[in-house]
Structure 1
Amino acid sequence: MAALIYQIFSSSALLSLGLCHLICTTRNYLKSPHTYSAKPFHPFPPSSSYSSSSGNGGRLRHLQLYMLIICLLIAMTHHLIISADADPLLKGRTPVHRFDSLQSAAVIFLFFIVSLCLLLSDSSSLLPFPSDLFFALGSALFFLQYTVTYSAASVQTSDLQAKCDSVSARISVLSSLLCLILACQPRLFVADIGLAAAVCLQGLWVLQTGLSLYVEAFIPDGCHRLLDVVNGVEGSTQCDLEESKFRAVAILDLVFLVHVVFVVLIVMFTYAGVAKSIGIRRLGSYEALPTVAAVSENNPHIQMKAMTGTQA
């Protein structure tokens, strides 16, 4: 149960982070596409400027970073606690479970350090780092997460767990590539939207992993949790037959495609909703010219150039 609760918590945190980044990125782009530039975080409320401010807006502008730091602390504490336990499933004579948990905690700690640096960089002049540096650091950390997750999948005794970890690793390497693109081209709106979508997809897949491994109703037919393992832990869901294993892997591939379609729909509806709320309609890269009524309302007296040298 503890493992499932942690999966739900991680999924909620990633989905919230991805949706927040998606909405704020779309809003900033639609408001000013010519001056748009990707940001590693967005102040709260979204209408506040990116500079220092006072009052309630100034106290809440780093709310996204505060929540991210708290979630990273909880995740790191979770991995440290489970790494202190004995290996619940014997994998030879090496405590692989303990080492994997320590590696995951180390990667989360690096994300925690970068988040703190981002907070200090925006709130003070102690670390005046540019945004492209943070995207480059994020790219390196996502790639490190990919290597850790991929190595964990290669030593899993459960084929179902290994499949879930390998898919998660692929999403991490995609996030790494998008961060690298943003570090080189911060004005590329598509890459910024893709990064937000990748975070949302990772959150959905974390939830799917928890359901497929620890909830009996979602475990594929032919696979089951080990009877001698009371709590759900890594590797506790096994598939006895090769046919059942292949069928379970195929089901996970299909479910992953469903999640991808769902994320695409989220991006499309979010873009349409934000565009409607702002009240901006665009055709390609051209902006609509103001109408005569709008010009008359803003300036009822239109200055015309005098016409000289004309004949009746």
Structure 2
Amino acid sequence: MVLFATHFLAFLFLFPVGIRRLIFSLSLYLQNPSQFTSKAWYFSGPKWKNGDMYALLLALPIASFSHIYLFFAISGHPNYRFSFLAQSLLIFIFWALLVLISLKESLDLYVIPESFVFILCGIAFVIEYYMNGQGILGLGGVAYELLGGLALVCAACCLYLSISPSAFFADFLLSSGLVLKAVWVLQVGMSLYTDAFSLKGCEKMAVSRGNREIDVKCELEEDKLRGVALTNLLFVVHTALVLFMSFSLLGLLHRHRSNRSREVTGPLLSQIGSSEGIVMNPLPIFEIE
């Protein structure tokens, strides 16, 4: 249950960040597609609207120290213990990135280019890939391998945005990738570390004392093969649902913006604007600094 709790907390951290980034990046792109510029974090005014950033700045250090406590408190297989230490290091790295982004915005540190922040984010995702699912083989290894692949996709998007910040498709893929990482890490936690959602014919994640490896114990080889196929199918379903949600959100924001544009640029307002020499522009959906 402790390992499932860590996966659930990762979902709580990643999912709001991914959804928020997706909404703000789509809104900024719809304002003026030709002048779109991606940012490591989309700040909005007034500052109280960025409460999620400040909540993460407080919550991530607590989560990091909690994983260190679990590393010293839990006895058993070394891979279980050191997984908490690796997760603590990853959480600390992403917390340090949030601190850098926050200082850059609040102190107007323009000497730190946005491309440099994206490079650091890409390096952090690469570190996550190498630390992800160490020592886990078999069915569990397949689930963590897919999770590591998402980390590589996010890393590639960050590195590409550091070179071409106007690449909307990379920003869209990064935002959707964060959402998919969130839902998939929750699925991994439920499939591997709970009895209620474990795969048919297989148990929770177990430790093989003979070869000192971690694997999911299945009664038959057919159960294991079926579990691998079902894991891949679940990943495809999650990917399709996240992409459908992302494109649906794009359509809804575009429709909402079109409706507001027609309201602002109606015939009456156009006459008023022309008579007073005022150029009427569509209102943005979000105020982004």
Structure 2 length as normaliser, TM-score?
0.83
Distance 1:257 1:98 in 2: 31
Distance 1:32 1:184 in 2: 20
Distance 1:249 1:74, change over 3 A: farther
The answer for the alignment partner of 1:278 in structure 2 is 257
The answer for the alignment partner of 2:56 in structure 1 is 68
Distance 1:235 1:77, change over 3 A: farther
Q: Percent identity?
A: 25
Instruction: Say whether the 8 Å CA contact 1:120–1:127 is kept in structure 2.
Output: no
Distance 1:87 1:99 in 2: 11
Q: Does 1:11 align with 2:11?
A: yes
Q: How does 1:36-185 map to 2 (within 5 A)?
A: 36-44=36-44, 48=45, 57-58=46-47, 60-89=48-77, 95-125=78-108, 128-149=111-132, 152=134, 155-156=135-136, 159-185=138-164
Instruction: Say whether the 8 Å CA contact 1:87–1:96 is kept in structure 2.
Output: no
- SS of 1:279's equivalent in the other structure is helix
The answer for the alignment partner of 2:30 in structure 1 is 30
Instruction: Say whether the 8 Å CA contact 2:90–2:128 is kept in structure 1.
Output: yes
Distance 1:105 1:127, change over 3 A: farther
Distance 1:127 1:187, change over 3 A: closer
The answer for the alignment partner of 1:252 in structure 2 is 231
Instruction: Say whether the 8 Å CA contact 1:143–1:173 is kept in structure 2.
Output: yes
Instruction: Say whether the 8 Å CA contact 1:8–1:210 is kept in structure 2.
Output: yes
Distance 1:188 1:261 in 2: 22
Instruction: Say whether the 8 Å CA contact 1:159–1:238 is kept in structure 2.
Output: no
Instruction: Structure 2 unaligned segments of length 5 or more: list them.
Output: 208-212, 278-289
- Structure having the higher Rg: 1
The answer for the alignment partner of 2:165 in structure 1 is 186
Q: How many residues align?
A: 269
Distance 1:176 1:236 in 2: 27
Instruction: Say whether the 8 Å CA contact 2:192–2:205 is kept in structure 1.
Output: no
The answer for the alignment partner of 1:296 in structure 2 is 271
Q: Deviations over 1:86-143 (max 9, x none)?
A: 4434xxxxx2333332222222211111111111111115674121111111011101
Q: Deviations over 1:196-254 (max 9, x none)?
A: 000000000011011102332321111013799xxxxx958422432221111110000
Residue type at the aligned position of 2:63: A
Deviation at 1:194, TM superposition (A): 0.5
The answer for the alignment partner of 2:243 in structure 1 is 264
Residue type at the aligned position of 2:11: S
Distance 2:79 2:140 in 1: 14
- SS of 2:29's equivalent in the other structure is helix
Distance 1:115 1:42 in 2: 12
Instruction: Structure 1 unaligned segments of length 5 or more: list them.
Output: 49-56, 90-94, 229-233, 283-289, 303-312
Residue type at the aligned position of 1:249: V
Distance 1:227 1:194, change over 3 A: closer
- SS of 1:248's equivalent in the other structure is helix
Instruction: Say whether the 8 Å CA contact 1:79–1:101 is kept in structure 2.
Output: yes
Residue type at the aligned position of 1:247: R
